[in-house]
Structures are given as C-alpha cells and as structure tokens.
C-alpha cells in the first residue's frame, strides 16, 4: 500500500463491523497537489481507507488467513471535505452476500460528528499470504489496535 489510510482501529467485531480513524496531516504528500494552497483529502482516498478497513476486518475475522480487495463500488457519496488537522472517523459494517468468495460493506465517515462520506462496495476474498506474510500483517494489526509490537524476549546471560 502506498498510503496507509487507517491510523487506529478503535473497535472490531469479527465478521460484523469495525470503527477506525484517519488523522489528516499536512505532511501527507497527496495534499500538495489536491489542491495547492487549499489541501483536502481526495474522496477516492477516503474510499480506499474504507477498503483497507474492510481488509483488516476480514483478516482479523479469519485468523489472518484472508484479506479483501475492493473491486466494485456500488455507491460513493461525499458531503464535505477533510483538511489537515481533521480526524476522519470511519464506521464500516459487513453486508450479507450469497457468494462466499466475496464480501460487501457499507460505511460512513464523519469529521467532528458531521457526515462526510457514505459508501457501499464489494470485494473479492484473497489469501493474506498472496499479499504479505501473515506474521507481518498480525504485527501491523496489533499496532493499529494500539497494542504495539510484542516486547522482545529477555536476553540470556552467557
């Protein structure tokens, strides 16, 4: 992933829903061009944040065996803009789908409690190992949950 668009996963109910946040920093390079002297987070990156959160939901729900790759956007509506200094709150819920190789989601984002975006999308399920190692994904997830990396084992005296 070029951009990590989920900074913290606050809640996750396996197979059901997730809540997360993205903190917008002026140092994010896409803001330099979108738009010069009036930076706003592009709507497509908010959608990508939801797609990443869906991936984390699938990974955590499958013991880090599976991930979801977005391949169909049913609806994406934007009601406002996020700017540097804002915190985007993402709420995602899984929607039933008849195909076990696919997942569907509905999400809404807010900034300061005001609705910013509403999305519905689908994706195909892939093996985590086709993207990255399971161990690396588990460590990243723990960091996103605020658990941080595991402490190294104590050194043995020679």
3 state DSSP class of 111: strand
Q: Three-state SS across 145-156?
A: CCCCCCCCCCCC
All domains of the chain in start order, with CATH: 8-144 (3.10.129.10)
Q: Which is catalytic among the residues 8, 34, 102, 139?
A: 34
Which run of H or E residues covers position 38?
A: none
Known active-site residue 34: yes
Buried b (16+ CB within 10 A) or exposed e, 89-124: bbbbebeeeeeeeebbbbbbbbbeeeebbebbbbbe
Q: At which residue do the structure tokens 């391949």 appear?
A: 71
Tens-digit pLDDT string for the chain (158 aa): 578 999 999 999 999 999 999 999 999 998 988 888 899 999 999 999 999 999 999 999 999 999 999 999 999 999 999 999 999 999 999 999 999 999 999 999 999 999 999 999 999 999 999 999 999 999 999 999 999 655 555 677 66
C-alpha 15/C-alpha 46 separation (Å) is: 22
């Amino acid at each position: 992933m070029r951009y990590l668009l989920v900074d913290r996963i606050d809640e996750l109910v396996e197979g059901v829903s997730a809540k997360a946040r993205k903190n917008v920093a002026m140092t994010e390079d896409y803001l330099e061009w979108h738009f010069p002297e009036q930076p706003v987070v592009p709507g497509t990156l908010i959608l990508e944040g939801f797609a990443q959160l869906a991936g984390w939901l699938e990974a955590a729900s499958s013991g880090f065996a599976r991930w979801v790759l977005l391949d169909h956007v049913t609806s994406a509506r934007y009601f406002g803009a996020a700017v540097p200094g804002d915190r985007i709150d993402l709420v995602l819920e899984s929607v039933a789908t008849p195909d076990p190789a696919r997942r569907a989601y509905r999400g809404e984002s807010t900034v300061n409690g005001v609705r910013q975006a509403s999305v519905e999308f689908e994706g195909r399920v892939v093996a985590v190992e086709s993207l990255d190692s399971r161990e690396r994904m588990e460590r990243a997830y723990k960091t996103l949950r605020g658990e941080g990396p595991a402490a190294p084992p104590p050194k043995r005296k020679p």
